[in-house]
Amino acid sequence: MVTRIYTTGAVENAAANSSVNLFVKVLNNNETQPVQAEITLYSLDGVKNVVSTAVREIPPLSSDFEIFDITNVLQFEVQIRLNPADNVFVTVWGKDANANLVAAHRFVTEELSVLSNSSPSVKKSKQSSLSPRSRRHR
């Protein structure tokens, strides 16, 4: 089982088409295992601060979502921790005051960055290789 943490990275919300709500959807396509999802919204308005955290357990072959109010959040980041992460997909959607999707705040699984991947039973040794254009200095 793999635990994975995804991030949206830093997202700008101080615009004419700002989002007032952020929807985080977790789809568990695993046929036998539930997934534990911990979703954390951070404000990046100067110092990084936790705005809200939600924890969900999603049964096999089902989905769940969390809605965050980001009306007064000018810059933000969302992190989603999944355990286990096998066959689990995440999307993040911003909606404006009229409940319209905000294209700039749409993230599908492939667009999220992976902060951490861990597997308790497998440890990989770190290998490094130099490209022909790089040099190692001591």
Chunked into runs of 10 residues, the chain (138 residues) has average pLDDT values of 95 93 98 98 94 98 98 97 97 97 95 87 45 37
- Kindly list the distances between the CA atom of residue 28 and the CA atoms of 39, 84, 94, 97, in Å, as whole numbers in the listed order: 15, 10, 21, 29
What pLDDT was estimated at residue 60?
Answer: 98
Nearest in space to 2 (alpha carbons), one of 112, 124, 138, 100: 124
Write down all domains in the chain, each with its CATH number in brackets. 3-113 (2.60.290)
What pLDDT was estimated at residue 121?
Answer: 55
Which residues does 39 contact at the CB level (< 8 Å), separation at least 6?
A: 24, 26, 53, 54, 55, 56, 66, 78, 79, 80, 81
Bridge partner residues of 41 (DSSP): 52, 78
What pLDDT was estimated at residue 24?
Answer: 98
